[in-house]
C-alpha cells in the first residue's frame, strides 16, 4: 500500500463519516437493483416476454457481480485508496457514455440462435458497463470504510445491511411506484441522473479513507483475525450463498409458471432475498438461530409438499404466499449462517467474491444446467432437498444410524400415500398431503435434536412425494421457454406448458382424416365461431400468432394461405409430430411456421398481409405486454388487408386483458367486440371456457357478429393506453 495521506480532504467527524458511507452505499445499491427490472422492461420487446428471460438476466447480473467483487478485491489488496478512487471514478465516467439506457444499435433477435446466449449478449452491451461499476461498490465502499475513522470501522459488514435495504426499496419501487406512474424513458432518465450524483458520493467517501489503513483492527467475537479462510470454509460460503440464490430463481419460475409471468412476480422473490440479507447481516438478528432452525424445518416440509405437486398441480394465491414465506425463512437461515461464518475484515472482499460466486452458481444451475439436463422442472425440488442440510449445525458429524433412522421415519410418514392410493381410490390428494405434513411436523418436533435424522427424513419426503405426484407422460422435454408435457387423460391427449393446458385432441381422433377442435378451439366457442363462419371460410390469408398444438389448423379451407408464428421451436416440433397431435399434419402440413417473437418477425415481413390475424399468446396466464401495446396493435393493423380482422384469444385466470385492448382499439379508430364463453356443460366434454376479442377497421367488416347476442361491444374505459413506453400490469388484475 502507498503510505499517502489525502492532504486536500477534510476528514469528517466519525458520525458524519458513517452517514456519508451509509448514504453512498444505499444510493449505489438502489441504482444497482432498480436497473435490473428497468432494463428488462426495455429489453422485453426485443427478446420476448418469457419468465426465462428474467432468469437468464439474473444469471447475467450475478456473473457481472462476481467480476465487480473480484475487481474490488484485487484493487483493495494491491493498490492504495488513491489509486482505487481515480480508477473507479474513471470507470464511472466511461459508464456515463452508456446513458440513458437503451438497446444496442442494430441489435436483432435471431430465432435460430440460442435465446439464452442472445439475452446475455443483449444485457452485456446494453447495461453491462454501468452495472459492472455499480456491482463493485458494495465491497469497495466497505473496504474504504474500514480505513476511515467511522464507528465500527473494524467491522464494516453492517453497511451490507444498508446496501441491501437500498436494493429492497428500489426493487419494490419499480413495479409499485415507477412503472404505474411513469414511462420507461422517463424512468431511464431519472436513473441516469442518480448515476451521475453517485459519482460525487463515491469521491466524497473515498476521500475519507486513510491510505495507510490506520484504523485499528479490533478482533470480532468468535472470529480469528489471523486465520486465513481454508478450503472447507470457502465451500461452506459457496453452499450458503448457493441455496437462497437457487431457491429465489426456482420460486420465481414456479410462481411465474402458475400465476403469470409479470415483473412483479419476478421482483418480489428477489426483494425478499435481499431482505434476508438486511435481517441477517447484523449482530442482532430478528430471529435467534435456534428458533429459526425450528421454523426452517417446517418451511422445508411446506416447500416439499407444494413444489412436488403433492397438494395440487398448480399454486393458488394462498399456497403461493406459503411458498414465498417458506422461501423467506430458508433464505434467512442460510444468510444468518453465512454472517456467522464471516471472516475478519481483512478478508472482507474475498468473502464477497466467494459469496457472489455461490449466488452465480445458483443462477447457472437454474438457468443453464437444469434446462439442459432435466426434461421437467426439477431444480426447485433439488434445491429444497439440499436446503435440509441447513438444519445441520456446523461441525456436526454424520452418524450412519441417524441417516438410516431418518429414511425409516420418512417412509413411515409417506405411508398415507401408499395406503390412500391402494385402498382408498379417489381420496383427495390434499387430505393425504395434510396427513403427511402433520406426521412430519410430529417427527420434526420429537427428533429435532438429531440433525441428520431430520435431514434424511426430509430428503425421503421430497423424493417420495415426487414419485407419488408424477403423472406418466407420452412426451416430456424442456426448452428455454418452459417445460413441455403431453399426457393422455380421460380420452383426451393434452399438451401442457408448465401447469397450463395449451391444447387437446381426442385420442379417438388421432386416426381420423380431419380431427375436431377441442379445448379453447371447439366449434361452439368464439374462436370456432369466427373461423367456421362465412367470413372466416372466405378469407384468403390467415395468420396465427401462437401455435399450441395447431388446433385451429383444421378450420383451414381449400385455397387458403395460412402462416403460423411461434417463439418456441419445441412447440412447433410437438404440433407437427403426428405421433403426438394430428391437427397440423392432417390439415395444414404445408403452412409454414415462422420462428421467433411474433412482433419482431411480423415487423420484418413487410410484404405479408392477412384477411384474419389471430393473436393467441395469452392462454398461459401470462401477459406478453409487448404484444398488447398500441404500438403492437398498430403493427398488426398494418399487416391486414382492407376489411381484415384482428382476433385476440385472451383467456386468462388473473388479468383483464380486454381493458388495454379496448383502449388501444379506440386510439387506433378500430371497432372491437368481445365474447366470454363459459358453458359448464362444455367442461364435461373436454371443451374449455374462453374469452375472445375481435377488431375491425369498419363495423361492417365484422359481418353477422354485430347481430350475434353472444358478442358485445368492447368500449374503452378512457384510462391511459398501453404503449411500449408505458404499461401497468397491476391495473388489470381481476
Number of independent structural domains in the chain: 3
HEC secondary structure over 425-471: CCCCHHHHHHHHHHHHHHHHHHHCCCHHHHHHHHHHHHHHHHHHCCC
Residue 238 has pLDDT above 60, yes or no: yes
Q: Are residues 712 and 566 in the same domain?
A: yes
The reported pLDDT for the residue numbered 713 is 93
Q: From CA 499, how far away is CA 187, in angstroms rounded?
A: 34
Contact 401, 450 (CB under 8 A): no
The reported pLDDT for the residue numbered 213 is 46
Q: Are residues 59 and 113 in the same domain?
A: yes
Q: Are residues 155 and 240 in the same domain?
A: no
Q: Is residue 510 part of a domain?
A: no
pLDDT digits over 604-617, tens only? Answer: 898 999 999 999 98
pLDDT digits over 302-327, tens only? Answer: 888 788 776 666 677 788 888 999 99
The reported pLDDT for the residue numbered 504 is 86
pLDDT digits over 118-168, tens only? Answer: 888 899 999 999 999 999 998 898 889 888 887 877 777 778 777 878 888
Average pLDDT score over the chain: 82
Range of the domain at 185: 1-213
Query: Which parts of 486-641 fold into alpha helices (H)?
Result: 526-532, 534-537, 569-575, 583-587, 598-604, 630-638
Q: Are residues 209 and 274 in the same domain?
A: no
Q: Is residue 309 part of a domain?
A: yes
pLDDT digits over 690-715, tens only? Answer: 899 999 999 889 888 888 889 999 99
Return the ∠ at Cα 116 (arms to 114 and 122), rounded to 5°: 100
Distance of alpha carbon 380 from its chain centroid, rounded?
Answer: 13
Q: Can you give the CATH number for the domain in which 612 is found?
A: 3.40.50.150
Q: Are residues 431 and 531 in the same domain?
A: no
Q: Is residue 219 part of a domain?
A: no
The reported pLDDT for the residue numbered 5 is 43
Q: How many CB atoms lie within 10 A of CB 8?
A: 6
Query: Which parts of 136-183 fold into alpha helices (H)?
Result: 137-146, 158-173, 179-181
Q: Are residues 525 and 668 in the same domain?
A: yes
Q: Are residues 424 and 548 in the same domain?
A: no
Cell numbers describing residue 230: 481454508
Mean pLDDT of 292-300: 83
Q: Are residues 303 and 434 in the same domain?
A: yes
Q: Are residues 441 and 552 in the same domain?
A: no
The reported pLDDT for the residue numbered 400 is 66
- pTM (two decimals): 0.75
Amino acid at each position: 500500500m502507498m503510505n499517502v495521506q489525502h492532504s486536500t480532504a477534510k476528514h469528517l467527524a466519525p458520525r458524519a463519516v458513517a452517514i456519508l458511507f451509509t448514504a453512498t452505499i444505499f444510493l449505489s445499491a438502489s441504482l444497482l437493483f432498480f436497473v435490473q427490472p428497468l432494463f428488462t422492461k426495455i429489453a422485453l420487446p426485443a427478446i420476448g416476454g418469457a419468465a426465462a428471460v428474467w432468469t437468464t438476466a439474473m444469471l447475467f447480473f450475478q456473473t457481472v457481480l462476481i467480476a465487480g467483487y473480484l475487481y474490488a478485491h484485487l484493487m483493495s489488496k494491491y493498490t492504495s485508496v488513491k489509486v482505487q478512487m481515480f480508477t473507479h471514478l474513471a470507470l464511472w465516467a466511461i459508464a456515463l457514455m452508456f446513458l440513458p439506457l437503451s438497446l444496442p444499435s442494430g441489435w436483432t433477435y435471431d430465432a435460430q440462435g440460442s435465446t439464452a446466449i442472445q439475452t446475455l449478449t443483449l444485457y452485456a452491451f446494453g447495461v453491462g458497463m454501468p452495472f459492472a461499476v455499480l456491482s463493485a461498490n458494495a465491497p469497495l465502499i466497505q473496504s474504504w470504510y474500514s480505513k476511515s475513522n467511522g464507528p465500527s470501522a473494524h467491522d464494516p459488514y453492517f453497511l451490507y445491511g444498508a446496501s441491501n435495504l437500498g436494493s429492497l426499496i428500489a426493487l419494490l419501487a419499480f413495479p409499485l411506484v415507477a412503472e404505474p406512474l411513469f414511462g420507461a424513458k422517463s424512468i431511464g432518465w431519472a436513473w441516469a441522473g442518480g448515476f451521475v450524483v453517485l459519482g460525487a458520493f463515491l469521491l466524497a467517501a473515498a476521500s475519507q479513507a486513510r491510505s495507510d489503513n490506520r484504523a485499528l483492527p479490533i478482533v470480532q467475537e468468535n472470529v480469528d483475525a489471523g486465520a486465513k479462510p481454508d478450503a472447507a470454509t470457502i465451500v461452506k460460503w459457496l453452499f450458503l450463498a448457493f441455496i437462497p440464490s437457487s431457491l429465489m430463481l426456482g420460486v420465481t419460475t414456479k410462481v411465474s409458471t402458475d400465476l403469470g409471468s409479470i415483473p412483479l412476480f419476478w421482483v418480489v422473490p428477489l426483494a425478499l432475498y435481499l431482505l434476508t440479507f438486511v435481517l441477517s447481516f447484523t449482530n442482532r438478528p430478528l430471529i435467534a438461530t435456534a428458533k429459526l432452525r425450528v421454523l426452517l424445518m417446517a418451511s422445508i416440509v411446506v416447500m416439499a409438499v407444494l413444489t412436488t405437486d403433492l397438494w395440487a398441480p398448480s399454486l393458488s394465491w394462498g399456497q403461493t404466499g406459503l411458498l414465498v414465506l417458506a422461501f423467506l425463512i430458508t433464505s434467512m437461515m442460510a444468510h444468518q449462517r453465512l454472517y456467522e461464518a464471516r471472516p475478519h475484515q481483512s478478508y472482507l472482499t474475498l468473502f464477497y467474491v466467494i459469496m457472489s460466486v455461490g449466488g452465480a452458481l445458483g443462477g447457472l444451475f437454474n438457468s443453464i444446467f437444469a434446462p439442459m439436463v432435466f426434461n421437467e422442472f426439477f431444480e426447485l425440488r433439488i434445491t429444497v432437498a439440499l436446503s435440509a442440510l441447513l438444519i445441520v449445525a456446523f461441525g456436526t458429524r454424520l452418524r450412519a444410524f441417524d441417516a438410516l433412522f431418518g429414511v425409516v421415519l420418512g417412509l413411515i410418514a409417506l405411508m398415507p400415500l401408499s395406503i390412500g392410493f391402494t385402498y382408498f381410490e379417489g381420496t383427495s390428494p390434499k387430505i393425504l398431503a395434510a396427513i403427511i405434513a402433520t406426521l412430519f411436523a410430529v417427527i420434526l418436533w420429537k427428533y429435532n435434536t438429531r440433525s441428520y435424522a431430520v435431514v434424511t427424513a426430509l430428503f425421503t419426503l421430497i423424493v417420495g412425494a415426487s414419485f407419488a405426484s408424477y403423472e406418466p407422460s407420452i412426451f416430456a422435454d424442456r426448452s428455454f421457454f418452459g417445460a413441455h408435457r403431453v399426457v393422455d387423460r380421460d380420452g383426451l391427449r393434452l399438451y401442457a406448458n408448465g401447469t397450463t393446458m395449451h391444447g387437446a385432441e381426442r385420442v379417438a381422433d388421432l386416426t381420423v382424416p380431419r380431427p375436431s377442435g377441442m379445448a379453447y378451439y371447439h366449434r361452439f366457442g368464439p374462436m370456432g365461431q369466427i373461423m367456421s363462419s362465412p367470413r372466416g371460410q372466405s378469407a384468403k390469408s390467415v395468420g396465427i400468432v401462437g401455435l399450441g398444438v395447431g388446433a385451429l389448423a383444421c378450420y383451414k379451407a381449400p385455397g387458403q394461405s395460412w402462416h403460423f408464428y411461434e417463439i418456441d421451436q419445441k412447440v412447433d416440433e410437438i404440433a407437427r409430430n403426428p405421433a403426438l397431435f394430428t391437427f397440423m399434419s392432417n390439415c395444414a402440413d404445408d403452412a409454414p411456421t415462422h420462428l421467433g417473437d411474433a412482433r419482431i418477425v411480423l415487423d420484418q415481413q413487410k410484404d405479408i398481409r392477412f384477411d384474419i390475424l389471430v393473436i393467441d399468446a395469452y392462454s398461459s396466464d401470462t401477459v406478453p405486454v409487448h404484444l398488447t401495446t398500441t404500438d403492437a396493435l398498430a403493427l398488426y393493423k398494418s399487416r391486414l388487408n382492407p376489411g381484415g380482422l384482428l382476433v385476440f384469444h385472451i383467456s386468462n385466470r388473473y388479468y383483464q386483458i380486454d381493458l388495454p385492448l379496448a383502449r388501444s382499439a379506440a386510439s387506433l379508430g378500430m371497432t372491437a367486440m368481445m365474447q366470454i364463453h363459459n358453458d359448464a356443460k362444455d367442461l364435461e366434454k373436454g371443451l374449455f371456457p374462453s374469452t375472445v376479442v375481435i377488431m375491425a377497421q369498419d363495423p361492417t367488416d365484422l359481418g353477422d357478429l354485430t347481430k350475434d347476442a353472444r358478442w358485445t361491444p368492447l368500449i374503452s374505459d378512457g384510462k391511459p393506453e398501453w404503449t411500449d413506453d408505458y404499461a401497468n400490469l397491476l391495473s388489470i388484475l381481476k
